[in-house]
Each structure stands twice: as structure tokens, then as C-alpha cells.
């Protein structure tokens, strides 16, 4: 008899952003007149930059002519894109990463959830708390996390590394037995916190000393505005020996609807004597047919001089929203952080409300949607995330409503 993968039954409820979407739909059905402003899921609102649109049009035309038509993309991505990424994102920052070490995909979410497949199910995982739910959920599906403790809001076999106001929302090195796989995301989703280079170097040294692998999500690196914050883990010495990095075009260049990302696996990176590059290449070749040619050409356009300038303006637009949210809430008496090197603002809920109580209250009184901190893990309780990815007009209106009605 066929049996289902009952690891899935250990997942509590729905994916966080599906739950939020459902709640908002229900609210709107009950209140059709409500003008709801969405600052929940980190989805961009600005149109694609002209340079990207130009590249898309050109690539579409190529697909319409026999001489330039493209079928399946190369397994690991087109060389024209991998070369640009290696040069602009890595070598220009002094990181020793070659085009062959870059795997093109349709986004960081898929890669950071699938990467666990190339590791033993016996490996232990450590995550920041709060954390982007995909890291934990994908390991639950694989059967690596043990049972869910409802009272604690946590899985038995996962090492949760609290990120609190006391430690600047950046985790301490684990005490006791070292975990095998360590998920880090900086600039951080959801808190918007960053880790300075010397601190990240400590993690790299720790992983190398203990034979652990760091799974480093750098999806938000383009939002870094301050010095001394690494854009890539490969800026740290020895990171080639212990780290895999994920990047996304979604937040950098507005590709949430186009889909493009990549993963970097150094050719010599090993887990217990086994090279990981061939394993991920094998997985890619077997389970994936590559990001579309036209999208990879659009990705290439991000690296032209005009593309880079246009993207920079777009990021500045969102970061101005971040400033509006941060300053607006702070002057209204909220305890806020993030928003300086990341498009997320992390706020403490007033009057010790739970995160979901604040969600409901914000939706019903101000018609503003955000993301409850507890949805990201137990240490996110009594916190709340707002995204800077809305339009400027809506961001200003949302903050005015929060100040007036909450
Ligand atoms: C978020 O809101 O945390 C992200 O947009 C979700 C994602 O990138 O998958």
C-alpha cells in the first residue's frame, strides 16, 4: 500500500505567508470597503528596470527566430550569466569564486530548501530564532528535525539560536556539541539585523574547526549600506572550506515574478571527505531543467552599467521606505530595529501583545498587513515585521494610519 511521507504531518498548519494571505482574503471578504495596505510578504512593487525589460524583449525576439532559438538551458546555467556573477558579485569584492562554482536556478527559496538533500538525514541543523521558515520546514519534510513541541513552538532535534535585542539579533556560537549544518541569513530576514565581518569570521572559524557547513543566505546583500558588513561569506578567510551561499535576483532586481537566483558551492568544499559540488550538480542535472533563457538574459542585464545604476535607484527607493517606517514608528514610541542594511523593520509589539494579536489589531484598526514575529520562531513572539517593498505612497499612508489608529 502506498504510504505518504508522514514527515509532512509534523508541519504545523500552513506555510506562514499562505496563512497570512488566507487571513487577509477572509478579512477583505468580510470588509469589501477596506483599503488594505500590504506590508507583509517581502514582495517588490516597482516595475522591472528599463535595462532588464530591454534584455527581455531582445531575448524573446531571439526565441522567435530559428537561428537564435534556444531549447534547454545548460544544466548549471548559461556561461554569460555565471561569468558576470563571478566577476561582479565575487571577484570585485576579493572573493575567490569562479563561474564554474555558480549554479543558476529559479530562486533562493528553492535552493535553500533543496540543499539539505545532499546531506545525510543524520545531520543536525542549527537555525537562528527567529528564522525564515523555509530552512526549518524543508528539514521537517526530510525527517531531520524530530517531533514538534507545541508548547515550545519548536522541533526537538533542531538547535535554535536565539537572536534577541540583547545580542543585536545576531546569534552566539552554539555551546556544547556542534551542529552539522548551520543556516545563517545576513542581512537577516526577518529582523533586518546584520553581522559584521569579524563576527562572521568567528562563525567561519567555528565551522572549519568543527567540520560543520554554513548554509549562508545572502539574498538581501544588495541592501547593505554600511561599511564593514560582508556582502558574501566568502569575504571571510577559510569560507571556501565550510560554506555554501545562496543569492537571489528577487529583492536585488525585482525578479519575484520572473524567478532567478543562484547558489555558490566551492569546487573543493567537502562534507566528511565527500565533495559537495558534484552532488549538487548531479541533483541539478537530474531534477531541474534550468532557468529560462530569456530570464537568464534579463539577469545578465542587471550587471550592465545602466542596469547597475537603475537597480541602485530601485534599492534606494525601497530603503527610503525603510527609513519612513523606522523613523515613523520610532517617533511614535515603538521599539524598532533593522531597516538600515535590510528592507525589513522589526518592531516590538506594544503592551506585550502577542505577535498574532498585533497582526489582527493592525489589520482591523489600520487595515495594514504585516508579518507576526512568532511565525518565524519562538523568539519572534511579541515582535512584528514590516517590509519596505511597498510603494512610497502606501508606506507613508500605512505609517500615518499606525500612528493615528493604533
Ligand atoms: C519574505 O517575506 O520573507 C520573503 O519574501 C519570502 C520569500 O522570499 O520567499
Domains of the chain: residue spans and CATH: 13-47+306-405 (3.90.1150.10), 53-304 (3.40.640.10)
Round to whole Å and give the CA distance between 398 and 369: 9
Choosing from 128, 130, 132 the residue with most ligand 1 atoms within 8 A of its CB, the one to mutate for a pocket test is 132
* Centre of ligand 1 from the C-alpha of residue 41, in Å: 6
Residue 152 pLDDT more than 90?
A: no
Ligand 1 site, residue 189, Cβ cutoff 6 A: yes
CA angle (230 as vertex; 200, 180 as ends), nearest 5: 35
**Locus of grid cell 494571505:** 21
Would the pLDDT of 151 be above 90? no
Q: Is the pLDDT of residue 359 over 90?
A: yes
- Non-local (6+) Cβ contacts of 212 within 8 A are 178, 179, 180, 181, 182, 206, 242
pTM, two decimals, is: 0.96
CB of 41 closer than 6 angstroms to any ligand 1 atom: yes
Q: How far apart are CA 236 and CA 318, in angstroms?
A: 28
**CA of 190, closest atom in ligand 1:** 3
pLDDT digits (tens, 9 = 90+) for 164-211: 999 999 999 999 999 999 999 999 999 999 999 999 999 999 999 999
In this predicted structure, the answer to whether residue 13 has a pLDDT above a threshold of 80 is no
Please indicate whether residue 191, judged by its CB atom, sits closer than 6 Å to ligand 1: no
pLDDT grade, residue 292 (50/70/90)?
very high
Q: Report how far residue 74's alpha carbon sits from residue 86's, in angstroms, rounded to the nearest whole number.
A: 17
Query: Which residue has the CA at smallest separation from atom 4 of ligand 1?
Result: 42
Band the pLDDT of 16: cuts 50, 70, 90: confident
* Residue 42 in contact with ligand 1 by CB distance below 6 A: yes
Given a contact cutoff of 8 angstroms between Cβ atoms, the answer to whether 236 and 204 are in contact is yes
Residues 19-52 have pLDDT tens digits of 899 999 999 999 999 999 999 999 999 999 999 9
Q: 179 C-alpha to center of ligand 1: Å?
A: 25
How do residues 277-289 score in pLDDT, each as one tens digit? 999 999 999 999 9
Strand 125-129 with 158-162, pairing: parallel
Amino acid at each position: 500500500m502506498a504510504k505518504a511521507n508522514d514527515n509532512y504531518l509534523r508541519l504545523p498548519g500552513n506555510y506562514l505567508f499562505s496563512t497570512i494571505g488566507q487571513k487577509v482574503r477572509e478579512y477583505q471578504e468580510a470588509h469589501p470597503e477596506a483599503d488594505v495596505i500590504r506590508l507583509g510578504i517581502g514582495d517588490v512593487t516597482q516595475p522591472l528596470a528599463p535595462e532588464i525589460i530591454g534584455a527581455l524583449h531582445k531575448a524573446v525576439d531571439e526565441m522567435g527566430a530559428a537561428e537564435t532559438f534556444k531549447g534547454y538551458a545548460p544544466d548549471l546555467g548559461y556561461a554569460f550569466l555565471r561569468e558576470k556573477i563571478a566577476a561582479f558579485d565575487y571577484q570585485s569584492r576579493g572573493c575567490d569564486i569562479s563561474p564554474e562554482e555558480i549554479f543558476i536556478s529559479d530562486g533562493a527559496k528553492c535552493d535553500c530548501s533543496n540543499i539539505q538533500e545532499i546531506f545525510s538525514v543524520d545531520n543536525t541543523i542549527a537555525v537562528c530564532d527567529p528564522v525564515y521558515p523555509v530552512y526549518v520546514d524543508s528539514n521537517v519534510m526530510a525527517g531531520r528535525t524530530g517531533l514538534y513541541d507545541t508548547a515550545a513552538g519548536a522541533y526537538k532535534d533542531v538547535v535554535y539560536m536565539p537572536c534577541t535585542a540583547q545580542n543585536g539579533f545576531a546569534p552566539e556560537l552554539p555551546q556544547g556539541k556542534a551542529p552539522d549544518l548551520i543556516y545563517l541569513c545576513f542581512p537577516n530576514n526577518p529582523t533586518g539585523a546584520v553581522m559584521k565581518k569579524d563576527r562572521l569570521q568567528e562563525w567561519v572559524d567555528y565551522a572549519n574547526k568543527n567540520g560543520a557547513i554554513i548554509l549562508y543566505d545572502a539574498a538581501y546583500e544588495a541592501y547593505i549600506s554600511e561599511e564593514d558588513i560582508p556582502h558574501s561569506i566568502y569575504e571571510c578567510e577559510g569560507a571556501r572550506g565550510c560554506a555554501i551561499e545562496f543569492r537571489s535576483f528577487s529583492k536585488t532586481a525585482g525578479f519575484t515574478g520572473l524567478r532567478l537566483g543562484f547558489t555558490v558551492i566551492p569546487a573543493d568544499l567537502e562534507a566528511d571527505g565527500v565533495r559537495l559540488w558534484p552532488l549538487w550538480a548531479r541533483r541539478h542535472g537530474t531534477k531541474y531543467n534550468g532557468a529560462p533563457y530569456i530570464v537568464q538574459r534579463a539577469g545578465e542585464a542587471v550587471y550592465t552599467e545602466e542596469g547597475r545604476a537603475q537597480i541602485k535607484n530601485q534599492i534606494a527607493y525601497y530603503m527610503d521606505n525603510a527609513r519612513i517606517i523606522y523613523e515613523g514608528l520610532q517617533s511614535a514610541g515603538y521599539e524598532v530595529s533593522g531597516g538600515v542594511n535590510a528592507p525589513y523593520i522589526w518592531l516590538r509589539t506594544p503592551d506585550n501583545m502577542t505577535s498574532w494579536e498585533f497582526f489582527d489589531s493592525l489589520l482591523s484598526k489600520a487595515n495594514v498587513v504585516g508579518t507576526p514575529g512568532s511565525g518565524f520562531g519562538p523568539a519572534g513572539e511579541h515582535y512584528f515585521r514590516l517590509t519596505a517593498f511597498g510603494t512610497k505612497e502606501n508606506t507613508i499612508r500605512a505609517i500615518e494610519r499606525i500612528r493615528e489608529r493604533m
